[in-house]
Structure 1
Amino acid sequence: MDQEALVADAQTLTRSLDETMVKPKGVMLARSSETGESKLWVVPSSNIDKREFYGLVAQAISAEDLNALDVGMVELVDMARADRMGFKQLIRAPGISRIHLKSNWVNGISLPEGILIRMNL
């Protein structure tokens, strides 16, 4: 998978979701060290039903004609899980970013390699 295209699609999806009730507070393109697969973790601004979340994601991906990213790559991360993962202590990047991370430890929790698109928790 072309990483540049994946990051560009993740940024576009984030902008598109800003116009919905999702309004992502956190978005990270995380890469599994075990499988090499990428997941796009999305922390919505408020609680949202999973079905509604994935429906909005699918609509945005279709409307924006994204090719590198599909719904199966997107993972809903609730605020409680984001807190346990230490995202609040990690970094603050409220806009659309491209911040590369390599195997970081935050509060004893190992975060995977990845690219922060937004972190505004």
Structure 2
Amino acid sequence: MDQEALVTDAQTLTRSLDETMIKPKGVMLARSSETGESKLWVVPSSNIDKREFYGLVAQAISAEDLSALDVGMVELVDMARADRMGFRQLVRAPGISRIHLKSNWVNGISMPEGIIIRMNL
């Protein structure tokens, strides 16, 4: 998968989701060290039903004609899970960003390699 296209599509999707009830507070493109697969973790601004979340994501991907991302790569991360994963301790990046992370430990929590698109928790 073309990393540049994946990041660009993740940024475009984040902008598009800003116009929906999802309004992402956190978005991170995480890469599994075991499988090499990428997941786009999205933390919505408020609680949202899974079915509604994935429906809005699918609509945005289709409307923006994103070719590097598909709905199966997107993962809903609620605020409680984001806290357990240590997202609040990472960085504060409220806009659209491209912050590269290597596998790291943050306050005793293992963080995967990835790219932060937004982190405003």
Residue 27 of structure 1 corresponds to: 27
Residue 98 of structure 1 corresponds to: 98
C-alpha distance after superposition, 1:47-97 (max 9, x if no partner): 000000000000000000000000000000000000001110110000000
Q: Post-superposition shift, 1:107?
A: 1.2
Q: Post-superposition shift, 1:118?
A: 0.1
RMSD of the TM alignment (CA)? Answer: 0.3
Q: TM-score of the superposition, structure 2-length normalised?
A: 0.99
Q: Post-superposition shift, 1:32?
A: 0.1
Unaligned runs of 5+ in 1: none
Q: TM-score of the superposition, structure 1-length normalised?
A: 0.99
In structure 2, the residue corresponding to 1:6 is in which secondary structure? helix
- For these two proteins, the number of residue pairs brought into alignment is 121
Unaligned runs of 5+ in 2: none
Distance 1:105 1:88 in 2: 13
Q: Post-superposition shift, 1:12?
A: 0.1
In structure 1, the residue corresponding to 2:11 is in which secondary structure? helix
Q: Post-superposition shift, 1:103?
A: 0.7
Percent sequence identity over aligned pairs: 94
